[in-house]
Chain A
Amino acid sequence: MDQPVSSVPAGAEQGGGFAVEITGLYKWFGNFQALADVNLKVRNGERVVICGPSGSGKSTLIRCINALEDYQRGEVKVEGVALTNNLKRIDQIRREVGMVFQQFNLFPHLTVMENCTLAPIHVRKMPRNEAEAVARKFLERVRIPEQADKYPAQLSGGQQQRVAIARALCMNPKIMMFDEPTSSLDPEMVKEVLDTMVELAREGMTMLVVTHEMGFARQVANRMVFMDAGQIVEINTPEVFFSNPQHDRTRMFLSQILKNV
């Protein structure tokens, strides 16, 4: 498991262009500046891990990519499509970007299967039996095919998060975003979720991951992004980032979080 995932993204070999292009992004919550001049380009097939202290704007940044947050200045492009206020554009982008949340956010009144087929049926207009076949495939891939008829509350936290991953995958997204996917899990369940994510990385999925799991980052990331106070402080390869961080703030952060391990 600790073998690093191939460092050359599959998409880059094919010259696949950029999955996400963020230029000069600024965002304010009231008077509070949440993002300041953020520039980030993510290639197809690339896996970018974003870390930083709490309140540094990591989650806000990835939530801007699928328009869960709006922003005041700058530009976001997903698969070459510029994000605007146009609802059609937003829908188009959301179909291509899957998202996994810290709190899972499964729909508690629907079974695991219904959670997975809701969007394919009503957004992608897939026939029900086809959507169920797709859902079964992805539930198998996250190793919980036998839970399909249960309700989310009957599953453990780790199982719920894997259902959330399967639910996002059922929309057949080109990009997967993870917002602290293991932060609200019991320690014993972190690994099963990370294993699922490593597998996804092996298959060449473009991934943006906000996490503090540095072991996972080291194993999977093509590039590490470190943010502080709404700005990107350092972008580097994991080798350099962990062994020889260039910015003082990065060094301080890493010394804080790695000290206790």
Chain B
Amino acid sequence: MSDAARSPIVQVAVTEDDVFVRSQSVPVLPPPLVATGPIGWLRANLFSTPLNALLTVAVVALLVWLVPPLIRFLFIDATWSGADREACLAASDGAEGACWAFVRDRLAYFIYGSYPIAQRWRVDLFFAMLAFGVGWLLWLDAPRRALGALYFFVVMPVIAYVLLNGFPLIGLPSVDTALWGGVLVTVVVTTVGIVASLPLGILLALGRRSSLPVVRVASTLFIEFVRGVPLITVLFMASVMLPLFVPPAWAPDKLLRALVGIVLFSSAYMAEVVRGGLAAIPNGQYEAARALGLRFWRMQGFVVLPQALRITIPNIVNSFIALFKDTTLVFFVGIFDFLKTIEVARVDPKWATPVTSATGYAFAAIFYFVFCFLMARYADRIEYRLARADRR
């Protein structure tokens, strides 16, 4: 080392041209324009390589093959009104179109199930309250969002329970949950699943990262057990096994049992999503919070969770979408959710036509797609907003 240190550094001759001192600052210029017309765009995006051109042609061919028949079935050849199967049978001479008259006729059943007709205003009121709460929470720039959260998580559930289940003391006759059905049940199961599984999932995620062995092992066991079992198994266990352990008089309501099953199941998944977010928070954040004297729950509540949940919003919404579609499984434990009402209505002899089933399923597909698509778009917007906030 000492030899290298003592040997002289090789000098390279520097001429007058090699030195520079700026005398004038360069003016700020706008970026050069890139000229592209529609043709240029096509060439750059759809036909840039032979393979790309081939794929473009294939996709266009596929669309031409699929889309027109679908549009013809759903709209052009469809029957929009009628009192019973005759309307759809008469119209379907030759061409087969959707029997929307069937959906229109049974729409009330799809929405309310067997909820007594005179009491359906209670369901409508519940839908309105829910829409108001969801809007308040999802609109990020809404005023008083803390109040919105209080309304959504505390006030609304209580009112909704009294409203839907009934409370004879104040003149609302009881409605047995066996009569609930359709969109009402799907919405109730989804909402309860979402509202209860997020806090439970957060607790489980914190538990799994806890330094207390008992808490950590219990959380891990629960999460791994639930994740290792299909939802349908959890539902069967909740509806068949639970009554074996509790006296018949205490046996909880069938819908409630399914709800408990769904909540337990989705909270395990939520826990893993939240845990991913927690793991992304640098250690320095915990240290700074601790150094300031914040104790565990304050540190989690004010410093860690706000950051962890923000980065997991897209994944949380993704779980909600999965949960929304998974609610159709309550069908198997005898609960009349939206899909089950379609299942029942499509075999009704009054509407027996060759296209009744296809129409019913198309309606269900559109219903689920619209809601899932809206949720996904919302998650995208949040993601965009967060990305913009990070660039700030």
User: Cβ of B287 and Cβ of A68 under 8 Å apart?
Assistant: yes
User: In this assembly, does A16 line the interface, its C-beta being within 8 Å of a C-beta of chain B?
Assistant: no
Question: What's the Cα separation between A106 and B284 when bound, in Å?
Answer: 9
User: Cβ of A122 and Cβ of B291 under 8 Å apart?
Assistant: no
Q: Which residues of A contact B289 (CB under 8 A)?
A: 107
Question: What's the Cα separation between A167 and B291 when bound, in Å?
Answer: 11
User: Cβ of B293 and Cβ of A171 under 8 Å apart?
Assistant: yes
Which range contains the number of B residues in contact with the other chain? 20 to 34
User: In this assembly, does B294 line the interface, its C-beta being within 8 Å of a C-beta of chain A?
Assistant: yes
Question: What's the Cα separation between A176 and B302 when bound, in Å?
Answer: 23
User: Cβ of A101 and Cβ of B287 under 8 Å apart?
Assistant: yes
User: Cβ of A109 and Cβ of B310 under 8 Å apart?
Assistant: yes
Of A122, A153, A168, the residue contacting B294 (CB under 8 A) is A122
Give B269-302 interface residues, CB cut-off 8 Å to A: 282, 284-285, 287-295, 298, 302
User: Cβ of A122 and Cβ of B302 under 8 Å apart?
Assistant: yes
| CB closest chain-B residue, reference A92 | B293
Minimal beta-carbon separation of B8 from chain A (angstroms): 19
Question: What's the Cα separation between A107 and B288 when bound, in Å?
Answer: 8
Q: Which residues of B contact A99 (CB under 8 A)?
A: 288, 291
| B interface secondary structure, majority | helix
User: In this assembly, does B306 line the interface, its C-beta being within 8 Å of a C-beta of chain A?
Assistant: yes
Which range contains the number of A residues in contact with the other chain? 20 to 34
Question: What's the Cα separation between A101 and B294 when bound, in Å?
Answer: 16
Give A102-116 interface residues, CB cut-off 8 Å to B: 103, 105-109
Q: Which residues of A contact B285 (CB under 8 A)?
A: 105, 107
User: Cβ of B310 and Cβ of A94 under 8 Å apart?
Assistant: no
Asked whether A106 and B288 contact (CB < 8 A) given A122-B294, A153-B390, A153-B392, the answer is yes
User: Cβ of A68 and Cβ of B291 under 8 Å apart?
Assistant: yes
Q: Which residues of B contact A101 (CB under 8 A)?
A: 284, 287-288, 291
Minimal beta-carbon separation of B294 from chain A (angstroms): 6
Question: What's the Cα separation between A164 and B148 when bound, in Å?
Answer: 33
Minimal beta-carbon separation of A143 from chain B (angstroms): 22
Closest 4 CB pairs of A and B: A105-B288, A119-B292, A105-B284, A99-B291
List A residues at the B interface (Cβ < 8 Å).
66-68, 87, 91, 94-95, 97-99, 101, 103, 105-109, 118-119, 122-123, 151, 153-154, 167-168, 171
Q: Can you list 8 pairs linking A and B with CB atoms under 8 Å apart? A: A87-B295, A91-B295, A105-B282, A105-B287, A108-B307, A118-B292, A123-B292, A154-B392
